[in-house]
Amino acid sequence: MPILDSIDRRLLSEFQRDLPLEPRPYAAMADRLGIGEAEVIARLARLSGQGVVSRVGPVFAANRAGCSTLAAMAVPPERLEEVACLINAYPQVNHNYERSHHFNLWFVVAAPRRDEVDAVLDDIRDRTGIEVLDLPLVADYHIDLGFDLQWN
């Protein structure tokens, strides 16, 4: 695990939610942290390169802007890393994760239109030879994606 200083920790803790919605969000973050805008950007780039941060950006309510679906696959364990890397290469996939289940690889596909989501799912199936379970949203639930970070 990379060593994080107090500014890194504040950056990770304080901006998981409510990223400033203004023309220069990194400048607003910098003001709050007492550092420069360029330093905020450099820190986020470094943290991303170290695998501490996977994404910086908004989370929109499902299917309010474009279309999305949750998908799952039953991937043989020896192919899990290969298939996960293939899925990660699609710009329409915003995350994927392994689960302890018959369907062991889960991911979300988002695109402007449903036919584009279907095309990605079809392409993943065709390239891997593994069926993709499409689980479109039926009921909307708000899930807080932030975490209370504990620092040692």
* Cα–Cα distance measured from residue 40 to residue 148, given in angstroms and rounded to the nearest whole number: 21
* Cα–Cα distance measured from residue 52 to residue 96, given in angstroms and rounded to the nearest whole number: 16
Mean pLDDT of 93-101: 89
Among 147, 148, 55, 149, smallest CA distance to 108 is for 55
Using a 10 angstrom Cβ sphere, with 0-12 exposed, 13-18 middle and 19 or more buried, the burial of residue 102 is exposed
- pTM tops 0.95, yes or no: no
Per-residue pLDDT tens digits for 102-118: 999 999 999 999 999 99
Query: Ranked by mean pLDDT, which of 19-23, 51-55, 140-144 comes out on top?
Result: 19-23
Band (26; pLDDT cuts 50, 70, 90): very high
| pLDDT reported for residue 60 | 66
Q: Comparing 142 with 80, which gets the higher pLDDT?
A: 80
Token pair listed for 124? 């993943």
Per-residue pLDDT tens digits for 41-94: 999 999 999 988 877 877 666 666 788 999 999 999 999 999 999 999 999 998
Percentage of the chain exceeding pLDDT 70: 90
| pLDDT reported for residue 11 | 93
What angle do the packed helices 37-49 and 6-14 form, to 10 degrees?
A: 90
Per this entry, what is the length of the chain?
152
* Cα–Cα distance measured from residue 19 to residue 26, given in angstroms and rounded to the nearest whole number: 9
Residue type, 98: E
Band (150; pLDDT cuts 50, 70, 90): confident
Q: What is the DSSP secondary-structure string of 70-137? A: EEEE---GGGHHHHHHHHHT-TTEEEEEE-SSSS-EEEEEEESSHHHHHHHHHHHHHHH----EEE--
